[in-house]
């Protein structure tokens, strides 16, 4: 997990300023360590178009040995034989995901210490803690918890690998790492950039310095 989580890029076509395949290719050149396909919300593709984009982005990840993780959609994750699935608290119960997903990596979004404790009992591979900072990308996001919340989770004795999520930019990424996270996961800081490769490179540089 330590190699996979540092710079975890998430996106779907609805998040991209430029072409999604181009954005992902550039982000990979810039040094992302993991990719999550999250085709969701207003403007997102559905049905066969969603599957086709998933396949295309998965192929790009495979060429560079970047783990390909699917958000929410366990059927799609199994069809594509994705490397991982990521679910939230309101998705399918985690026991069911553990039972049904045939791939490797299972990630879960958590907001509270209690949810993080629950994740640990289910042997989840990593948890996404957030939103850390205010985000404009997820319209129904909960109240930001701040980077110190990662500290609080660690202090509660939880050693599950953590990625921070929500509003992470090159200006604040170091706080997330310094608070004890194994990585940063982000959408708009790369997907809305005119230069996704450069954006990823700059974030990667911050991780090395933090």
What totals of helices (H) and strands (E) does the chain contain, helices first?
Answer: 9, 8
Q: Which is nearer to ligand TZP, 102 or 195 (CB)?
A: 195
Site for Mg ion in 71-130 (CB under 5 A): 72, 88, 91
3-state secondary structure of 86: strand
**Residue 138 falls in the annotated catalytic set:** yes
Site for ligand TZP in 105-164 (CB under 6 A): 130-131, 135, 137-138, 141
**Under the criterion CB under 6 A, does residue 13 sit at the interface with ligand TZP?**
no
- CA dihedral (41, 136, 77, 126) positive or negative: negative
Q: How far is the CB of 130 from ligand TZP (least distance, A)?
A: 5
- 176 CB contacts (<8 Å, ≥6 apart)? 132, 147, 150, 164, 168, 184
When binding is defined by CB under 6 A, the residue of 58, 188, 197, 202 that contacts ligand TZP is 188
**Residue 109 falls in the annotated catalytic set:** yes
**Residue 2 falls in the annotated catalytic set:** no
Backbone angles phi, psi at 53, to 5 degrees: -65, -40
**Interface pattern 24-43 for ligand TZP (x via CB under 6 A):** --------------------
Give the Cα separation of 133 and 120 in Å (integer): 24
- What is the maximum span of the chain, computed from C-alpha positions, in angstroms? 45
Task: Enter the tokens of residue 145.
Answer: 């918890």
- Active-site residue numbers? 38, 109, 138
What residues make contact with ligand TZP under the rule CB under 6 A? Answer: 130-131, 135, 137-138, 141, 165-168, 186-189
Interacting residues with Mg ion (CB under 5 A): 72, 88, 91
């Amino acid at each position: 997990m330590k190699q996979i989580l540092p710079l975890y890029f998430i996106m779907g076509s609805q998040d991209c300023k430029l072409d999604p395949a181009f954005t992902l290719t550039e982000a990979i050149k810039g040094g992302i360590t993991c990719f999550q396909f999250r085709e969701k919300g207003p403007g997102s593709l559905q049905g066969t178009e969603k599957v086709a984009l998933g396949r295309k982005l998965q192929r790009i990840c495979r060429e560079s040995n970047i783990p390909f993780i699917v958000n929410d959609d366990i059927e799609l994750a199994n069809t594509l034989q994705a490397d991982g699935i990521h679910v939230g608290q309101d998705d399918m119960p985690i026991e069911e995901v553990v039972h049904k997903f045939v791939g490797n990596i299972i990630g879960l979004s958590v907001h509270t210490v209690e949810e993080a404790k629950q994740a640990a009992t289910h042997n989840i591979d990593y948890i996404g803690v957030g939103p850390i900072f205010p985000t404009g990308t997820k319209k129904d996001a909960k109240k930001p918890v701040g980077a110190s919340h990662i500290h609080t989770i660690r202090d509660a004795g939880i050693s599950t690998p953590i990625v921070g999520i929500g509003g992470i930019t090159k200006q604040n990424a170091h706080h997330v790492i310094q608070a004890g996270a194994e990585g940063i996961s982000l959408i708009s800081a790369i997907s809305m950039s005119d230069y996704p490769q450069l954006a990823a490179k700059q974030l990667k540089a911050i991780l090395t310095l933090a």
